[in-house]
Amino acid sequence: MIRRLWTPAISLVLMALASVPSSAQTPPPLPAAENGTQYLVFVRSQPVGREEVIVLKMADGWVVRGTSRLGQPIDITTRVAEVDYDAQWRPKSLIIDGIVRGQDVTLKTTFDGTKANNVLTVQGAPQAKSDNVSADPIVLPNTFLGAYAGLARRLQGKTVGSEMRAYIAPQAEVTIRITSAASEKIETPKGVINANRYSLTVNSPPPAGDLAINLWADQEGNLLRMNIPAQMIEMAREDIASAAARTVAFSVPGDEAVTIPSIGFNIAATITRPKSSTNAPAVILIGGSGPTDRDETVAGIPVFGQIARDLVNAGFAVVRYDKRGVGQSGGRAESVTIADYAEDARQVLQWVEKQKGINKDRIALVGHSEGALVSMLLAGRERGKVAAMVLIAGPSTSGNEIVLEQQKLVLSKMPIDDAQRAEKSALQERINQAVIKGTGWGDIPEAARRLADTPWFYSFLTFDPAKAIADTRAPVLIVQGELDTQVQPYHADKLAELARARKGDKVAVEVVKVPGINHLLVPAKTGDVSEYNTLGPDAKVSPQVTSAIANFLTKVMQE
């Protein structure tokens, strides 16, 4: 699914510290953390560095301490960071000493119950700033993700709907609300970890707006993992970040973990067979964009896990897999293209053909969002092997047009004037054209180029669904949620037109639009991406979606 809404001003939460007036002396650095927990930090699924964090229970309170070394595009080295709290988790002080984008930076903050008094020293020049705060905010400095270990402790015992205050040092206080919580299991080489997953919403003052954060903690409140989807930032404990680890939020009776050989790496997958598995038809589920696991878990909702369950109950063998470089699958994602993902899916198809109890003449592809594009490519390459396609929320136009369409919707909801919207739109158009042509980067911010100038984005911008679907011959079902704001409903009709215009024998082309569901195929109120984290892990994929898929495939793949 196209979860990344590409806008030119993708800002990292680890932003440069703001300038403010006054003076103070640079405090001495504190000793580094000893025997801390190691965390890996990722931006856009690529490792950029690590942090070492320790949470200490002291006689008079708590200490969260750590160090970090993070490369581009963050470019921060933290020699030491320490947040001190009293026994009731009321903050007493914060100190950070490090290098931010080549500049020596020290931040010292003291709390007196009503104010946060900051002294920020950049390249030896001290500046001061005070902010009004509540008595017990959790302190989350811009430059130290390890501070979320304190938030993980504070979440223990909290329920959905609970709110707490947080101070984003040295900027402002915000409200954090728990929008959903669920128990999950994380499989690691050393055993299974019982985890609590929290979906959080940070209510920031305008123009920042709300920000979704996902956080996992063990039963003792130790931080396991956190991510900020809109910022494409993730931090995970070293064992959790390992390719051998997998978060199990959903399972289907009969799930069998398998390893599928690919070109230079292995794909980790799950096959689930129906009770009557002799000569069974098979379905391969192909996930959307971003670091998508086999259950296609988004905002805690296991989209593919639920689809797999319903299709198995309808008599299909179902294979779902971790994308390359995600979960337990090998390979690297930084240079991947949509064509590479189609090759990965082809390896899965070839493996499925060889499995006992599977009818190799009755194998269908079910692709969601970007997965619909991958399905088209694979079905065109393997015409004789793909018996049917289901394209869910698939774009009908080039990625270039999709990005601009998505951005237009995002900008329409931002508290900015028409001139600012026009400026941002023009910048995005220049970024897209620079990626496509390979030239024209001169007046584009370097940070935007680092995010956009990738093989995947080029392959997405230039992907032509009309050409891809024209090369296919299989029957097609197109499924679309009428509240989808990421791939708008008109794309379903346009895809159907393209499918019906294909050469060769006429085959079934059907469209099913389901009212009231969003891009994740679950009931929603607005369909907006910002709503995802409020839907909760109990959100259910619409049975109209899964029944439509099962009925269509049963009809077109009859023996």
Q: Mean pLDDT over residues 292-299, rounded? A: 89
Quickly state the pLDDT bin for 188 (edges 50, 70, 90): confident
Given a cut of 50, whether residue 144 has pLDDT beyond it is: yes
Given a cut of 50, whether residue 404 has pLDDT beyond it is: yes
Residue with tokens 């911010």: 445
Residues in the chain: 559
Q: Which residue has the higher pLDDT, 212 or 187?
A: 212
Quickly state the pLDDT bin for 142 (edges 50, 70, 90): confident
Q: Are 175 and 79 in contact (CB under 8 A)?
A: no
Given a cut of 60, whether residue 21 has pLDDT beyond it is: no
**pLDDT tens-digit series, residues 222-258:** 999 998 887 778 899 988 887 666 777 688 999 999 9
Please report the pLDDT score of residue 206 as a whole number: 62
AA letter at 372: A
Q: Is 135 helix (H, G, I), strand (E, B) or coil?
A: coil
Quickly state the pLDDT bin for 558 (edges 50, 70, 90): confident
Computed over every residue of the chain, the mean pLDDT equals 89
**pLDDT tens-digit series, residues 174-187:** 999 999 888 888 88
Question: What count of other Cβ atoms lies within 10 Å of the Cβ of residue 227?
Answer: 18
Quickly state the pLDDT bin for 205 (edges 50, 70, 90): low
How far apart CA 327 and CA 242 sit, in angstroms, is 8
Q: Read off the pTM.
A: 0.74
Q: Which residue has the higher pLDDT, 531 or 362?
A: 362
Q: Which one, of 82, 452, 84, 490, lies nearest residue 232 by Cα?
A: 452
Helix (H) or strand (E) segment spanning residue 452: helix 446-452
How far apart CA 538 and CA 524 sit, in angstroms, is 13
